[in-house]
Amino acid sequence: MTGANGDSLPTDSNGTERGDSEPVLGEDQNLVIVSNRQPYSHYYEAGDDGNREVSVDRPAGGLTAGLDPVVQQVGGTWIAWGMAKLTAR
């Protein structure tokens, strides 16, 4: 089987072909992303009960939008600097 560019699809350690969008890690491998920005924006928002709750904004594009699904799929870890305090909205 070939990928979109005509190359053979990668195989895992068992010889099973993997599609172009399926990340593969070995049993003893972990994915760790280290960045100077956090992948999500966090802020306080008034909850239904009147108390403040933390809400999360996920970016629509950029590096986070591309890497986060891969990190999620393989159970990876994203380590980042939280650059700002939570702000009220």
Q: CB–CB of 3/11 below 8 Å?
A: no
Instruction: Decide: helix, strand or coil at residue 2.
Output: strand
- Name the residue among 28, 25, 21 with its Cα closest to residue 12: 25
**pLDDT recorded at residue 3:** 45
> DSSP secondary-structure letter at 52?
E
CA distances from 35 to 27, 28, 68, 74, 81 (A): 24, 23, 13, 18, 7
Walk along the chain (89 residues) in steps of 10 and give the mean pLDDT of each run. Answer: 52 57 76 86 84 85 85 90 62
Contact between residue 9 and residue 1 where contact means Cβ atoms under 8 Å apart: yes
Residue in the block written with tokens 């986060």: 68
